[in-house]
Amino acid sequence: MSWLDDLVARFVSDADDIALAQAAAATVAGGGELGALAHLELCRLVGESTTDTRGLLRALDDVSGGTRDLISALVIACFATVRAGYPARQDAQEARTALTARADGVLDAAGAAYGAEVHAWLIRLVGETTVQISAIAATLAPVVRVETGISLPSSLIAFDLYGDPALANDLVGRNRTGTAMLMPVRLEALAP
């Protein structure tokens, strides 16, 4: 599982989590039922420990291989997606949609390769993850479309919308603009 070892090296930075990952990797090497459980525990640990959720999910998009690798990537994605921070309702909804699309490509193959028990477990994991993401999304502000009529600096727009010009960087990032001094006339912003 060199790709999983690579993910541990890239995305697990806490000393305690690294120690847990090393212990789990040693148990995985032993094989058998304990090795399989340790493998799933290692996947959970990677998903929960990362501080770069987007980077981890992009890395998981590159995972190819057998059904076991795809199951592992799905487990990691479930835990990482729940732990991610979402600035807006639409961002959480997009993450939920991406997770269910990832699961669609894995669930049937997992059931065929490993049986009904693994299939049911994965369905419960993905189902609970989507419920949790939906609960998170319900608490977030939606993204709204703002039209200014003329190009304005992001700090002025942030002050007008939120009373805080420091939120200008969020507007620049959300709208993928290269110039904070001249924002587009039509832009997206979090609802005030």
Of 140, 156, 143, 155, the residue nearest 187 (C-alpha):
143
Q: How many CB atoms lie within 10 A of CB 105?
A: 11
CA distance 174 to 192: 15
Question: How confident is the model over 133-154, as pLDDT tens digits?
Answer: 999 999 999 999 999 999 999 9
Q: How many CA atoms lie within 13 A of 162 on its CB side?
A: 16
- State yes or no: pLDDT of 167 exceeds 80: yes
Contact in structure between 158 and 164 (CB atoms under 8 Å): yes
Gyration radius of the chain over CA positions: 20
pLDDT at 192 exceeding the cut of 90? no
**Both structure tokens of 97:** 């949609």
The two structure tokens encoding residue 13: 């930075």
Strand, coil or helix: what is 37? helix
pLDDT at residue 1 tops 70: no
pTM to 2 decimals? 0.83
Tell me the pLDDT of the chain averaged across its residues: 93
Q: Which DSSP letter does residue 142 get?
A: P
